[in-house]
Each structure stands twice: as structure tokens, then as C-alpha cells.
Amino acid sequence: MPGPLPPFQPIAPDAEGLPLFRVDTGTLLRAIESGAAAPGAALPSETELAQAMGVSIGTLRRAVDELTAEHIVVRRQGRGTFVATHNVDRFLFQFFHVEREDGLHEVPQVDLLSFERGRIDEEAAAALSVREGDPAIVIENRLSLQGRAVIHDRLVLPAALFRGLTETRFARRPSTIYHLYQTEYGITVVRAHERARAVPCERAVARVLALAPGAPVLKVRRTALTFGDKPVEYRVSTLNTAHHEYVSTLQRPA
């Protein structure tokens, strides 16, 4: 049975000046963001939610459809609707866009190269909406596919959001990095903003990827966002595109 949620009050038709189903979406989203509906928890049935909020089943379902499309909740046939958790499948589907040139898409092997405490530089500060010089955790990983080093990742995390994170804790995480954020720190990454450009490979990264310095690579700058579009992680990924490609699937807006 679904766990208890805060009572949902009836919603006025003109509430917040938005279409009613979007008000429903916001109400459900706030319950999830507040932790009242924890990752993996079942939501009340659509009938119960619609009755509690004083809306039609059709309106409520449109709201749930929006959250499903955003990967914030997941419907399970015959079982109900659940708050989505970060796992390997979600990582591969939503956040990992690198494929071999023949279309092979698989989970990479991740090797931790360094874990250090430092200060947020100007570029990361702008991406994370924090002050330059704030305390940071800086992590470097090598991602390998089919036994070949393909990606170098450099992550910058605001230390204030990840208190108590140690190298051991990070290295021994049982699942993905975003799963660690969600389960240990209550931070759910819901989307990411990325910018990509072709650049010559830096010397230090070239050593990690077994490339000649200056070889052409794809650099992807990603800002990971939680609820309310709050930035929580800045990541720079350098991709060797000799045998792999960055693939993005575009969807027509509803």
C-alpha cells in the first residue's frame, strides 16, 4: 500500500493562473521534492489523488503523464505509480549518450582517478550559481567501453551540498553517482543542461585517453539540475570520438 502523504487540498480552477493539470503537476512535484514521497515510494492511486485535489481523473492523469515524461515518476503495469529512483537503467537511458559507432550502447566501466577538496573556479561557479572560491569536491573519472578508455570526466561539486562525502564513500557506492546523490544526500538529478564543442585534447587528458596531445576530441560541459532547476553538479566530459559518438534523441514537445 502507498505510504502516507500530506493531505492534498482541493485546487481552485484558476489557481496560480495556470491550466489545472499543471497546478496538479506542481502539487505532486512539491510532495516529491519535500521528501514526503521518497524515491521508490508508491503514490496513492490516481482516483485517490484526483478526489483529494478535487479534479477529474483526466486532469490528474495529464499531470502524472508530465512527471512520467520527465522521469520523475514511473508507472508499473498492475502495480501503480512510483517515485523514480536513479539506477543503472535510468543512467543509461537518460544521462549517458555515448555509443559505439555501430550503435552499441552499454554501461561504461568507471575508474576513479582522483578525489580532492579544492575551490570552485570561475567557470564552475557560473554554472553552479555559487561564488568563485567556495569549497568544492573535485573528482576525476575514466570511463571505458569495450575495454577502451573513451571518456575523461571532471566533476565539481559544491561541498556544502555533499557534507561528509569521502573518497571511500564515493568509490564504494553500490550504484551510479546520481544514485549516491539521491540516496545519501536527498539530491535527485532530474535533468541536465549540456553544451558540446570540438577541441584539441589537453595533455593531461590525452594521457588518460591514450591519445596524442592536441588530438581532436568532443568536450561536453554539463550542469546537472535538481528540482526547481537548482544546479548541483558541474561536469566536463572529454570524449574520444575515434570509435564512439555522442547521440541525442530529440522529442517533439507535447
Gap between the Cα atoms of 254 and 91, Å rounded: 24
Higher pLDDT, 4 or 78: 78
* N-terminal to C-terminal alpha carbon distance within the chain: 32
pTM above 0.85, yes or no: no
Higher pLDDT, 163 or 251: 163
Gap between the Cα atoms of 138 and 155, Å rounded: 6
**Residue ranges of E strands in the chain:** 73-76, 80-83, 98-100, 109-119, 135-145, 148-158, 191-200, 216-226, 230-239, 244-246
Sign of CA dihedral 169, 147, 91, 154: positive
Q: What is the pLDDT of residues 121-154, one digit of tens each?
A: 999 999 999 999 999 999 999 999 999 999 999 9
Q: What is the pLDDT of residues 199-251, one digit of tens each?
A: 999 999 999 999 999 999 999 999 999 998 999 999 999 999 999 999 987 76
Nearest to 165 by CA among 238, 88, 232: 232
For cell 489557481, the residue is 15
Q: What is the pLDDT of residues 54-75, one digit of tens each?
A: 778 888 888 888 888 888 888 8
